[in-house]
A and B are shown apart, each in its own frame.
Chain A
Amino acid sequence: MLKPQYRLKETSEQKANNGFRTLKRVSTLLSKQKGMLALVLLMVVFSSFLSLFGPYFIGKIIDEHIVTKKQDGLIQSIMILGGVYLFLSLSLFLQNYWMAAIAQKTVYSLRKQLFEKFHKLPIRFFEERQHGELMSRITNDIENVSQTLNSSMIQFFSSTLTLVGAVFVMLSLSPLLTVLTLTIVPMMYFGMKWITNRTSMLFKEQQRNLGELNGFIEESISGQKIIKMFSREKKVISEFQRKNETLKQSGFWAQTYSGFIPKLMNVLNNVSFAIIAGIGGVFTLKGLISIGVIVIFAEYSRQFTRPLNDLANQFNMLLSAIAGAERVFEIIDMEEEEDNKEAVHLPNIKGEVEFHHVSFSYEKRQETIRDIHFRVSPGETVALVGPTGAGKTTIINLLSRFYDPDSGQVFIDDYDIKRIKRASLRQHMAFVLQDTFLFQGTIRENIRYGRLDASDKDVEEAAKLANAHSFIMKLPNGYDTILNQEGSGISQGQKQLLAIARAILANPSILILDEATSSIDTVTELKIQEALQRLMKGRTSFVIAHRLNTIRNADQILVLNEGRIIEKGTHHSLLKAKGFYYELYHAGTGQYNMS
Chain B
Amino acid sequence: MFGVLSYLKPYAKWMILAWGLMLVELAVELWHPWLMAKIIDDGILKNDFSVVWKWGGIMLGTSFIAFVAGIANSFTAAHVGQNFGFALRNRLFEKVQSFSFSNLNQFPTSSLITRMTNDVTQIQNTVFMSLRIMLRAPLLVLFGTVMALFVHFKLALILVFTIPILLLFLIWMMNKGMSLFKMVQQKLDQVNEVMRENLAGMKLIKAMMRGEHEQRRFIKANEDLMKRTIQSVQIMELSMPVLLFVMNIGIIIILWFGNMNIQIGSAKAGEVVAIVNYATRITSALSIFTFILIVFSRAKASAQRISEVLTVNIDLSDREEIHHETTIKEGKVVFEDVYFQYPNTHAPVLKNISFIAHPGETIAILGATGSGKSSLLQLIPQLYDVNKGRVLIDDIDVRDMNQEMLRKEIGFAPQEVLLFSGTVKENIAFGKEDASMEEIMEAAKHAQIHETIMKLPNAYDTMVGQKGVNLSGGQKQRLSIARALIRKPKILLLDDSTSALDLKTEAGLFKALKSYTCTTFIVTQKVSTAMEADTILLLDEGTLLAKGNHECLLERCALYQKIVQSQLGNEEKYIC
A578 at interface (Cβ–Cβ under 8 A)?
A: no
A255 at interface (Cβ–Cβ under 8 A)?
A: yes
A591 at interface (Cβ–Cβ under 8 A)?
A: yes
B566 at interface (Cβ–Cβ under 8 A)?
A: yes
Q: B-facing mask of A380-403, CB < 8 A → 1, else 0?
A: 000001111100110000001010
Q: Select the residue from B206, B211, B452, B501 with max chain A CB neighbours within 10 A.
A: B206
A33 to B466, CA, bound (A): 39
Contact partner, B567, options A85, A230, A256, A549, Cβ 8 Å: A549
| A538 CB contacts on chain B under 8 angstroms | none
Contact partner, A89, options B245, B370, B487, Cβ 8 Å: B245
Could you pull out 11 A-B pairs where Cβ atoms are within 8 angstroms? A92-B244, A118-B198, A233-B97, A387-B474, A389-B452, A515-B499, A523-B559, A549-B567, A549-B569, A584-B502, A588-B507
Distance between B223 CB and nearest chain A CB, rounded to angstroms: 7
Contact partner, A450, options B105, B199, B208, B469, Cβ 8 Å: B208
Contact B206 A123, beta carbon cutoff 8 Å: yes
Contact partner, A255, options B81, B201, B276, Cβ 8 Å: B81
| Interface-facing stretch out of A257-265, A348-356, A370-378 | A257-265
Contact partner, B345, options A69, A81, A388, A489, Cβ 8 Å: A489
Q: Select the residue from A245, A274, A362, A519 with max chain B CB neighbours within 10 A.
A: A519
Contact partner, A492, options B32, B496, B559, Cβ 8 Å: B496
A552 at interface (Cβ–Cβ under 8 A)?
A: yes
Contact A128 B467, beta carbon cutoff 8 Å: yes
Q: Select the residue from A66, A392, A430 with max chain B CB neighbours within 10 A.
A: A66
| B294 CB contacts on chain A under 8 angstroms | 151
Contact B240 A92, beta carbon cutoff 8 Å: yes
Contact A484 B105, beta carbon cutoff 8 Å: yes
A587 at interface (Cβ–Cβ under 8 A)?
A: yes
A28 at interface (Cβ–Cβ under 8 A)?
A: no
A227 at interface (Cβ–Cβ under 8 A)?
A: yes
Contact A138 B420, beta carbon cutoff 8 Å: no
Contact partner, A497, options B53, B71, B369, Cβ 8 Å: B369
Q: A-facing mask of B289-328, CB < 8 A → 1, else 0?
A: 0010010000000000000000000000000000000000
Contact partner, B101, options A140, A224, A519, Cβ 8 Å: A224
Distance between A429 CB and nearest chain B CB, rounded to angstroms: 7
| A69 CB contacts on chain B under 8 angstroms | 259, 262-263
Q: A-facing mask of B16-59, CB < 8 A → 1, else 0?
A: 00000000010001001000100110011101010011001001
| A104 CB contacts on chain B under 8 angstroms | 226, 229-230, 233
Q: B-facing mask of A224-239, CB < 8 A → 1, else 0?
A: 1111111111011100
A166 at interface (Cβ–Cβ under 8 A)?
A: no
| B230 CB contacts on chain A under 8 angstroms | 100-101, 104
Contact A255 B367, beta carbon cutoff 8 Å: no
- The chain A residue sitting closest to B259, CB to CB, is A65
On chain A, the number of residues with a Cβ less than 8 Å from chain B's Cβ atoms is: 184
Q: B-facing mask of A413-439, CB < 8 A → 1, else 0?
A: 000000000010011011101110101
Contact partner, B191, options A138, A219, A548, Cβ 8 Å: A138
**Shortest Cβ-Cβ A-B pairs, 7 listed:** A388-B474, A259-B74, A493-B369, A263-B70, A588-B503, A89-B241, A96-B237
Known contacts A66-B258, A549-B567; A85 and B412 CB within 8 A of each other: no
- The chain B residue sitting closest to A58, CB to CB, is B276
Contact partner, B366, options A252, A253, A488, A521, Cβ 8 Å: A521
| A450 CB contacts on chain B under 8 angstroms | 208
A15 at interface (Cβ–Cβ under 8 A)?
A: no
Distance between A436 CB and nearest chain B CB, rounded to angstroms: 9
Interface residues of B in 161-213 (CB under 8 A from A): 188, 191-193, 195-211, 213
B342 at interface (Cβ–Cβ under 8 A)?
A: yes
Known contacts A259-B74, A387-B504; A591 and B209 CB within 8 A of each other: no
Interface residues of B in 83-104 (CB under 8 A from A): 83, 85-86, 89-90, 93-94, 96-99, 101, 104
Contact A219 B420, beta carbon cutoff 8 Å: yes
A298 to B568, CA, bound (A): 99
Known contacts A138-B191, A389-B452; A402 and B203 CB within 8 A of each other: yes
Contact A226 B414, beta carbon cutoff 8 Å: yes
A295 at interface (Cβ–Cβ under 8 A)?
A: yes
Known contacts A151-B291, A489-B345; A519 and B415 CB within 8 A of each other: yes
A592 to B472, CA, bound (A): 29
Contact A135 B196, beta carbon cutoff 8 Å: yes
| A524 CB contacts on chain B under 8 angstroms | 368-369
A223 to B200, CA, bound (A): 14
Contact partner, A471, options B369, B504, B572, Cβ 8 Å: B369
Contact partner, B56, options A107, A278, A365, Cβ 8 Å: A278
Contact B241 A123, beta carbon cutoff 8 Å: no
A429 to B98, CA, bound (A): 44
- The chain A residue sitting closest to B71, CB to CB, is A263
Contact partner, A232, options B71, B219, B430, Cβ 8 Å: B430
Interface residues of A in 85-136 (CB under 8 A from B): 85-86, 88-90, 92-93, 96-97, 100-101, 103-105, 107-108, 111-112, 115-116, 118-119, 123, 126-132, 134-136
Contact partner, B369, options A85, A433, A491, Cβ 8 Å: A491
Contact B273 A66, beta carbon cutoff 8 Å: yes
Contact B245 A86, beta carbon cutoff 8 Å: yes
Contact partner, B456, options A100, A123, A366, Cβ 8 Å: A366
B78 at interface (Cβ–Cβ under 8 A)?
A: yes
Total inter-chain residue pairs, C-beta < 8 Å: 516
Distance between B114 CB and nearest chain A CB, rounded to angstroms: 5
Q: B-facing mask of A66-90, CB < 8 A → 1, else 0?
A: 1101010010001001100110111
- The chain A residue sitting closest to B529, CB to CB, is A588
A471 to B466, CA, bound (A): 33
| A240 CB contacts on chain B under 8 angstroms | 89-90, 93
A536 to B383, CA, bound (A): 41
- The chain A residue sitting closest to B268, CB to CB, is A66
B528 at interface (Cβ–Cβ under 8 A)?
A: yes
A161 to B352, CA, bound (A): 79
B346 at interface (Cβ–Cβ under 8 A)?
A: yes
| A266 CB contacts on chain B under 8 angstroms | 25, 29, 63, 66-67, 70
Contact A591 B531, beta carbon cutoff 8 Å: yes
Known contacts A92-B241, A426-B206; A388 and B505 CB within 8 A of each other: yes
Known contacts A218-B109, A433-B204, A525-B566; A388 and B469 CB within 8 A of each other: no
Distance between B410 CB and nearest chain A CB, rounded to angstroms: 7
| A52 CB contacts on chain B under 8 angstroms | none
B381 at interface (Cβ–Cβ under 8 A)?
A: yes
Contact A58 B251, beta carbon cutoff 8 Å: yes
| Interface-facing stretch out of B138-146, B387-395, B400-408, B436-444 | B400-408
A583 at interface (Cβ–Cβ under 8 A)?
A: yes
Contact B412 A89, beta carbon cutoff 8 Å: no
| B368 CB contacts on chain A under 8 angstroms | 493, 521, 523-524
- The chain B residue sitting closest to A470, CB to CB, is B370
Contact partner, B473, options A85, A245, A434, A585, Cβ 8 Å: A434
- The chain A residue sitting closest to B92, CB to CB, is A217
Interface residues of B in 449-479 (CB under 8 A from A): 452, 455-457, 465-475, 477-478
- The chain A residue sitting closest to B40, CB to CB, is A295
Contact A260 B113, beta carbon cutoff 8 Å: no
B256 at interface (Cβ–Cβ under 8 A)?
A: yes
Known contacts A90-B241, A93-B241, A523-B566; A440 and B193 CB within 8 A of each other: yes
Contact B63 A284, beta carbon cutoff 8 Å: no
Contact partner, A135, options B192, B366, B569, Cβ 8 Å: B192
Known contacts A227-B97, A492-B415; A549 and B568 CB within 8 A of each other: yes
Contact B74 A126, beta carbon cutoff 8 Å: no
A434 to B416, CA, bound (A): 11
Contact partner, B97, options A96, A237, A252, A471, Cβ 8 Å: A237
Contact B207 A440, beta carbon cutoff 8 Å: no
| Interface-facing stretch out of A5-13, A176-184, A208-216, A338-346 | A208-216
Distance between A57 CB and nearest chain B CB, rounded to angstroms: 10
Contact A225 B430, beta carbon cutoff 8 Å: no
A592 to B431, CA, bound (A): 34
| Interface-facing stretch out of B116-124, B329-337, B354-362, B514-522 | B116-124
